[in-house]
Every structure is written in C-alpha cells, then in structure tokens.
Amino acid sequence: MSPGPTTAPSVEESVSPNVLQERHGFPKEGRYSLSYWLQSVQGDPLLNHSTTPEVPSESDIVVIGSGMTGTLVAKHSKETWPEKSVVVLEAREFCSGATGRNAGHCKPDQWRGFAAYEKAFGTEQALKILQNEQDTWSALVKYIRENNVDCDLWVGDTLDVPITPEVASTAKKNFERYKAAGGKVDQIKVTHDPATAAEDAQACYAWSASTLYPWKLTAHIMRENLEKGINLQTRTKVTSVIRSPRCPEKWLVKSDRGEIECSTVVHATNAYSSALEPSLRGLINPTPHMCDRIKPPVAIEGRGLQNSYGVLLPDGGLFSINPRSHLEGSVLFGGSNPGQRTFENWLQAHPERSTDDSLEGFKPITEAVQTFAESEITGWKAEFDNHSWSGIIAISADGVPFVGELPGLPGQWVCAGHQGHGMARIFTAAPGLVKLINGSPWADTQLPDVYQITPSRVRRLKGLVENGKARSRL
C-alpha cells in the first residue's frame, strides 16, 4: 500500500474524536480485518504452521516476522549458510501483516518520486532509489517466472494519470527534471496532450509493472524454506530481545511461547519494529491505512479495466488502482484518496490504534472511491459490493527504509520502514541485508546508500524527531 503525500485539510478536523468515531463507524479493537488476500486462503495449513511442537531453545539465526521481508531473509540465509539453523517467529498467522494486506502492486517508481528524493538526498541518490525499484521489480518477476509461482502475476503497462491541469503541470516538471538529471525514460510512454491521454486525464505516463497475489508468492517461498529445514513458528509473539545471561555475545529472544538463544536476530516486522526495539522509536512510525475492493453487481462487458493505475490528485492525493480479474470485475483501490486526511485526524486522536488492523472500513475513504469510480470509469453507475480492510504501513522518519546492523547492538539487524512501498523494495533489500550479515561491504548490496542504517543517520533523525522536523513522507 502506497500512502502518498497527505491530502488537503478537511472540514472535519475540528470535529471531536468521539463524534468522528460515531459518524464513521470504526469497529472496536479486536481480531484483525480480513484482506482480499487473507480472505481467500483461510484454511491453508501454512497460516498456523509450527514446524516443531515447541519453540527451540537455540538457533543460529532468529527472524522476527513472516511477511515478504522475513521470508526472503530466511531464504537467503539458508542459501548462504546451509549448515546454520534458522527460526522464523510470527506473532499471528503466517504473512498476516502488511504483505498480506497491500493493494497487490509491484509498481516501480520510474519518475514520480524523483523531485522529493533529489531534494532530500541529492541527484545521485534519487536516481539510485528509482533504479533500485526497477531492479526490484525485475528480480521479483524473474523469480516468479523461473519458479512457476502460482500467484496471479500480471505484467503490463501501469498508467499514471494526472486529472487536473495543475497536477499535470507538476508531473511534467518532475518528469522533465528527472530526464535532465540523466534518468532513464526510454521505457516510459508519455503524452502531455489531454486529447490523447486516458479518459478525463490531462496526461498519461505508462511503463511496465505488475500486479500479483502477494500472500501466495510469500507462501511459495516459505514452503521452499520449510523443505530446506527452516523452522516456522506462528502464533508466537516476541516480547523482548535481551543479552543472553549465559553467553553475553549472544541474544535471547523472549516470546510468549519460550526463549531462543541465538547469535543473529533480524527485525523483519516493518511497522512493528519500533514497538520491539526501542532504538527505532521515532524512526519508524506505524500508521493504519485502508484498502477497498469494489465489485459492480453487473459485469461490464468489454469495458473492464485492462491496466493498473495511479490517479494523481490535487494536493498530493493518489488513487492506486489494481484490477484483480477482468472476468470477475473486482478492482482494488489503495493510495491516499480525499478521505485520508479525516482518517489521519481520527488516528491522531486515537494513537493507541496505530497498530490496529482490525479496522474494516472508513466511510469518507470508501465514499471517495465510489465517487471516483462512478464518475470516471465508464459504466460504473451502480451500487457497489464493497469490501474494506486495514493494514499497518511503516512511515520512515526520512522517507526511505532502514537496512543494516542496529547501531550499538552487534548481531541485531533490521530491514524495515518501507513507507508503504515494500513490494518495490523488499526483493532486493532482504537479500542485500543477508550479504551484510555475511560480512560484505555495503556496495555489494547494490542498494541506495541512503537505505543504510548508520549511527550518524540515527543521530540526525533522532534530533529532527525531537525538534518536530522529521520528514515522515516523501
């Protein structure tokens, strides 16, 4: 789920939290909501898998989190050190966090984020960030195809379409700046002529991207991990990581089902990382986000969406659109639509809900989706069959992930803070982290330098956080 920048203030900002809760019907905190992906795999034995009846007391490597990051870290760890033991701990069901809750895109940013990245990190790093996203997409598609993974992979043109002249002007300036800085644009099909763009769009930018079933991809990799001897323990909530009293150079991972002594710990829980590791607090902030699945009650013959979209709205808003099945007609909407600011205001008044993914709907967000679909998609003038769910995205203090060894905690590693854009980052970030654990220099990861977690980066961001100047979104 890609959050996008914050939208314009709402007239509801001054409404009391209790009134907002009543008006928008938030559920009570409880069992997490079922995403489109999780709903379809209920009953799969992997969801509640325990390789051994008890949590082992020792392991060489402990990976906390079973989403795409944790599953890939486990895979590359076993390939790097076949002789080492690897345990993956998951607090709830397998892959029930952000990977199992996103909007199903692997969409490499080809140009849109360039201006913000250049302002924050300089031209060279901005170009590297976008190139890494392309490399990530290529690696993901290659793996799926070479391993015949059944995960509903679609490869085709994704279209970014600004819908007002002002948004189109901003997009064009950003694109031209990216091109002038040496960015690769040959693979991007562009029209700045509203007459030839998509319907009701002011311009159109098209390039190759994918949609897929992220849970099924992660499950395929984890099943291969299990065949190679990796130990997966679901329903095992880690409560703390402390120095081992018996062997101070090792770590003791404490959970509600037992303790594991190990040499290497990998924090792969993304938005939840700062809840477990105090040094990450303020650097990674969990934020709920909503997705909506819309299905018209009557099929639209011959007029279903054939591409995925990023609809660029005023004030930095965004509809992320993923048509899941041309036959079924379902479409998944993510992004940061005009109802997002009201949602954020409610969350600010209820910080205890920052890691609560039981939210099953938020009326202003769903209404914005319906209004857009009925006005902009031909033939969608109907009452919708709607299914909404929430996921927790990890907002990074400077807008990019944290990858590497935690400063001052030798043997503890992190790959987290993906800014709601993990599908376009993790497939290179996770194996890059394993290279670092194996002693390789940062350059061998081929990741952007600004992703590395270093003492100086942590100190700088902590200072900005304390002064209220951290850049939470790019």
Residue 300 binned pLDDT confidence (cut-offs 50, 70, 90):
low
Residue 374 binned pLDDT confidence (cut-offs 50, 70, 90):
confident
Q: What is the pLDDT of residue 13?
A: 33
DSSP class of residue 58 equals: B
Q: What is the pLDDT of residue 382?
A: 54
436 inside domain: yes
7 inside domain: no
Residue 377 binned pLDDT confidence (cut-offs 50, 70, 90):
confident
Per the listing, tokens 């360039």 go with 114
For the residues 161-181, what does the mean pLDDT come to? 95
Residue 31 binned pLDDT confidence (cut-offs 50, 70, 90):
low
The 10 Å CB-count burial string (b at 16+, else e) for 113-148 is bbbbbbebbebebbbbbbbbbbbbbeebbeebeeee
For residues 89 and 37, state if they share a domain: yes
For residues 372 and 405, state if they share a domain: no
Digit-coded pLDDT (tens) for 133-161: 999 999 999 999 999 999 999 999 999 99
CATH number of the domain residue 426 falls in = 3.50.50.60
37 closest CA partner among 97, 108, 92, 90: 97
Q: Decide if pLDDT at 26 tops 90.
A: no
The total of structural domains in the chain comes to 2
148 inside domain: no
For residues 197 and 305, state if they share a domain: yes
Which residues, at least 6 apart from 329, have a Cβ–Cβ distance to it below 8 Å?
295, 296, 299, 300, 304
For residues 42 and 191, state if they share a domain: no
List, as one string, the DSSP characters of 205-251.
Answer: EEEEEEE--HHHHHHHHHHHHHHTT-EEE-S--EEEEEE-SS-TTSE
Average pLDDT, the chain: 89
End position of a domain, from candidates 349, 366, 393: 393
Q: Decide if pLDDT at 21 tops 90.
A: no
Q: What is the pLDDT of residue 473?
A: 53
For residues 44 and 182, state if they share a domain: no
Give the separation between CA 48 and CA 56, rounded to whole angstroms. Answer: 17
For residues 375 and 301, state if they share a domain: yes
Q: What is the pLDDT of residue 43?
A: 95
Residue 400 binned pLDDT confidence (cut-offs 50, 70, 90):
very high
The angle subtended at Cα 348 by Cα 346 and Cα 354, nearest 5°, is 95
CATH number of the domain residue 321 falls in = 3.30.9.10
For residues 321 and 385, state if they share a domain: yes
Q: What is the pLDDT of residue 330?
A: 81
3-state helix, strand, coil in the chain (%, to 5): 35, 20, 40
114 inside domain: no
- Tell me the Ramachandran region of residue 261: left when phi exceeds 0, alpha when psi lies from -120 to 50, beta otherwise: beta
Q: What is the pLDDT of residue 361?
A: 85
The angle subtended at Cα 268 by Cα 472 and Cα 270, nearest 5°, is 25
Q: Decide if pLDDT at 104 tops 80.
A: yes
List the domain range (segments joined by +) for residue 325: 153-208+288-393
132 inside domain: no
For residues 304 and 371, state if they share a domain: yes
Digit-coded pLDDT (tens) for 77-97: 999 999 999 999 999 999 999
For the residues 197-209, what does the mean pLDDT come to? 84
Q: Decide if pLDDT at 29 tops 50.
A: no
Q: What is the pLDDT of residue 128?
A: 98
For residues 409 and 375, state if they share a domain: no
DSSP class of residue 429 equals: H
End position of a domain, from candidates 393, 425, 447: 393
For residues 157 and 170, state if they share a domain: yes
Terminal Cα-to-Cα distance of the chain (whole angstroms): 14
Q: Decide if pLDDT at 450 tops 60.
A: yes
List, as one string, the DSSP characters of 354-393.
Answer: TT-------HHHHHHHHHHHHHHSTT--S--EEEEEEEEE
380, 372 contact by CB (below 8 A): no
End position of a domain, from candidates 340, 361, 393: 393
For residues 43 and 66, state if they share a domain: yes
Q: Where are the beta strands (DSSP E) in 6-100?
A: 61-64, 86-89
431 inside domain: yes
Q: Decide if pLDDT at 11 tops 80.
A: no
CA 105 to chain centre: 10
Q: Decide if pLDDT at 113 tops 60.
A: yes
Digit-coded pLDDT (tens) for 49-61: 999 999 999 999 9
425 inside domain: yes
Residue 198 binned pLDDT confidence (cut-offs 50, 70, 90):
low
Structure tokens of 255?
């959970």
Q: Which residues pair with 331 in a beta bridge?
A: 294, 323
Give the separation between CA 435 and CA 284, rounded to whole angstroms. Answer: 23
For residues 452 and 364, state if they share a domain: no
Q: Decide if pLDDT at 297 tops 60.
A: no
472 inside domain: no
Structure tokens of 29?
């905190």
Task: Return the minimum-mean-pLDDT range out of 31-45, 254-268, 302-316.
Answer: 302-316
Q: Decide if pLDDT at 10 tops 50.
A: no
Tell me the chain's radius of gyration from C-alpha atoms. 22
Q: Decide if pLDDT at 109 tops 70.
A: yes
366 closest CA partner among 344, 393, 392, 389: 389
